[in-house]
Amino acid sequence: MTYYTTEEYMKLRFDRFARRYAYDASDKDSHERWYEKASAALSSAIGLDRCIPVEGAQAQLLDEAAFDGFVRRHYVMETEPTVFMTFYLLVPEHPNGAAMLNPHGHGGAKEACLGFSPDEKTLEYESFGVSLCRRGYYVAAPDARGSGERRERGQQGEGKESQNSHREMLNACICLGITPIGGMVWDLMRLFDFVGSIDDVDERRIGCAGMSGGGEQTIYFSALDRRVALAITSGYFYGFRDALLLQPANCGCNFAPHLYETVDMGDIGAMIAPRPFFIESGVNDRLAGASGIENVRSQFKIAESAYENLGARDNIELHVHQGGHVWVGEFMDDFIDRHLL
């Protein structure tokens, strides 16, 4: 049987119409002019500018549990009318004044991200977030929309903890001009508000770090909220054409109307400049697409040029490991301490 697909047409359109707001600055002034236009266009593409504030929203403490070196607090907070975000806050025994937001990736939610068992009672492994907390950092780990305690009807129930509702959410959102990733970024902004209000935390020393889908949330959030002091992404920094256009079966949280026409990943990285930005990628990460690590390096060069233009080349790092789609974490502790302490 012969099949007549649209893939070649999609590539043609991408090559012809992609990146209307491609990074083209040459100095600080032109960078700021570009950022103003590109960030507004990206906010519109993901529907961030359509989110509805909740006046006077307060986080409600649901429960807490003590572990060696920290206390885990479980909260819920309304971020948009009738939209509730659940999250863990890890409170260090000896705070150092800094904090990290730690959004999770796919295949689980805040519990798996932080290393807790599904019943939340035991710590199964020493996660990045827990290790960071033991070193004095407050750590906030939310459930993304459609994950964990926020799964929609079709993904709820025991045995479905690793599932998410992002594809179903995208189908519902897209006709309203909003997207899952836009809602996730909004929620992280509200989580930043909460963490920044803690007496032991300096609002100027709050970073964000995540793996895979958590890295996705991190770079969009950090690009569009300049309060974020430091960003770390692992397993999520590659060109849209190979990684998403040609791999459209990826999670629905990756997609937004007119996204490819607006920017590419390197442009989003350029929006983070000059703030510290750490990128970790594996040479065998299939999510980077057919061109592999070169799809990462090409986007890194775009972001790197923004840091060079702003005189902050030392603030961006790319670390490549020999594995696949995994968090390795080498050199991250030093990077975080150097920029947040």
* Three-state secondary structure readout of the chain: CCCCCCHHHHHHHHHHHCCCCCCCCCCHHHHHHHHHHHHHHHHHHCCHHHCCCCCCCCCEEEEEEEECCEEEEEEEEEEECCEEEEEEEEEECCCCCCEEECCCCCCCCHHHHHCECCCCCCECCCCHHHHHHHCCCEEEEECCCCCHHHCCHHHCCCCCCCCCCHHHHHHHHHHHCCCHHHHHHHHHHHHHHHHHCCCCCCHHHEEEEEECHHHHHHHHHHHHCCCCCEEEEECCCCCHHHHHHCCCCCCHHHCCCCHHHHCCHHHHHHHHCCCCEEEEEECCCHHHCCCCHHHHHHHHHHHHHHHHHCCCHHHEEEEEECCCCCCCCCCHHHHHHHHHC
Give the distance from CA 189 to its chain's centroid. 11
Q: Which of 281, 263, 274, 282 is nearest to 316 (CA)?
A: 274
pTM score above 0.85: yes
Architecture of domain 29-340: 3-Layer(aba) Sandwich (3.40)
For the chain, 341 residues long, give each residue's pLDDT as a single digit of tens. 999 999 999 999 999 999 999 999 999 999 999 999 999 999 999 999 999 999 988 999 999 999 999 999 999 999 999 999 999 999 999 999 999 999 999 988 999 999 998 887 889 899 999 999 999 999 999 999 998 899 888 888 888 888 888 889 899 999 999 999 999 999 999 999 999 999 999 999 999 999 999 999 999 999 999 999 999 999 999 999 999 999 998 988 999 999 999 999 999 999 999 999 999 999 999 999 999 999 999 999 999 999 999 999 999 999 999 999 999 999 999 999 999 99
